[in-house]
Structure 1
């Protein structure tokens, strides 16, 4: 099997164990929390996305990793992580907290979808070995991030539906 085929299999199958784990353990807990606490828990996970800057470190990634992929992935993760940290810092100020919840989730989804797009356009599977030590990020970490972004938007929509109408 080629490295490109293995990476594509890994990318697809990376979602399966996380969806199973999420459905069995994480989602029931998030649904039982009030909306604020659930969003705070999701922001806590995403606050570690500053780690995405590792895509820019020579020696951690190979010299032939497509620059267009590395730069977008690194700074998209970094921006999402900073916004998630700001969300956590703003927890005592609802007027800041809720817009930041939306912001870090929007930026995070744009980052992940953009990474998949750039990875496809720049033939990332053909350069799989260039991911080096970062190989585990799109396989193990990114699926959980995307799943929690979807959950965050669902919880936001659900909390809006259950709010009393303004008079």
Structure 2
């Protein structure tokens, strides 16, 4: 099997496995939570996206297509910083909500643009060049994208019983 096919299989199965896990365990837990606490949990996961800077750390990845690694690294870094700022502002009600919207918009767009750029630049065919970071797109990114969708849903769903804005 070609590296491109293996990478695509890994990516699809990463989504399938995370969607099954999310539906069975994570989503019922998030839906039952106070909306602020659910967004806080999602922000905590995304606060680790500073790890994406590893794409530009010399010696960690091989020769990735030009223009992929830098954009992916700094998109993740921006998302992680916004998620950390959201967590630091959790008691500031409207600011927390604004930062939750910001990190989810930036993060979801980053992932979508990274998928597009990876496809256009031929990354799947040279996926082995990701080296130790191979796990990021096939294991970590699917969970990140799923939680972005969940965060948007939670932001848009009607509030019942006057849920708290800040704690």
TM-score scaled to structure 2, two decimals? 0.94
* Number of the residue aligned with 1:109: 108
* Number of the residue aligned with 1:34: 34
* Number of the residue aligned with 1:15: 15
Q: Is the 8 A contact 1:35 1:159 kept in 2?
A: no
Question: Structure 1: any 5+ residue segments left out of the alignment?
Answer: none
Pick closer, same or farther for the CA change 1:125–1:162 going to 2, 3 Å: farther
Matched, 1:145 2:144: yes
Pick closer, same or farther for the CA change 1:118–1:160 going to 2, 3 Å: farther
C-alpha deviations, 1:30-78, integer Å up to 9, x for none?
000011000000000000000000000121100x211311011100000
TM-score scaled to structure 1, two decimals? 0.94
Q: Output the aligned Cα RMSD.
A: 1.5
Tell me the matched-pair count: 163
* Number of the residue aligned with 2:25: 25
Alignment of 1:1-167 (within 5 A): 1-62=1-62, 64-159=63-158
Shifted more, 28-37 versus 151-160: the winner is 151-160
Question: Structure 2: any 5+ residue segments left out of the alignment?
Answer: none
Q: 1-side partners of 2:101 and 2:161: how far apart?
A: 18
